[in-house]
A = this chain, B = another copy of it.
């Protein structure tokens, strides 16, 4: 019953945990979980390896911490889908937000992609409890829009998959995109226009 003696983290703790997590995000997103080493993270963070293990219980704890922090950011745009808004505009906004995230948070996108690619061994339960309910809820919203004739008769689940896939592609497959586009031009504007046109054409209800 008595409250556990939770120490408030000191300034040093806040700073170093932040440094470690940022370095770990770099290393994990670049090399994957197994490919990342504590030594790499230590060097990147400018903190000795034993000192890192003073702040985190181990390699896996760092990874899980990153994933947990990431999930809320990740679900945010989907949660923002407003049932009261205009269907096409809401979904196009969602596409845009996801595309912006792929540009602004590519490390996070790749971290997540790597975890899913390997069967979500360390995040599986969170998908069930965190993602699935939100996914189901928003699919229902989209279905409502379809039933009301305010949206073309789309398959809500696979529509969301396609939105995720097309937007995250620019982060997760960024190295391939870079090779194929070659030009110094930033692909973001072109990608944005393309995806807006594609989903608008698909989503607009028949007159």
Interface residues of A (CB under 8 A from B): 30-35, 110, 113-114, 116-120, 124, 127-128, 131-132, 135, 152, 154-155, 157-159, 161-162, 164-166, 168-170, 172-173, 175-177, 179-182, 187, 190-191, 193-195, 197-198, 201-202
Q: How far is the CB of A171 from chain B (nearest CB, A)?
A: 9
Residues of B within 8 A of A157 (CB): 180-181, 190
Cβ contacts A to B, 21 pairs, < 8 Å: A30-B119, A33-B35, A113-B172, A113-B173, A114-B114, A120-B175, A124-B175, A128-B179, A132-B179, A135-B180, A152-B201, A154-B198, A155-B193, A155-B194, A157-B181, A161-B169, A161-B177, A162-B169, A162-B194, A165-B173, A202-B202
> Which listed residue, B127, B159, B202, touches A179 by the CB 8 Å rule?
B127
Residues of B within 8 A of A194 (CB): 154-155, 158-159, 162
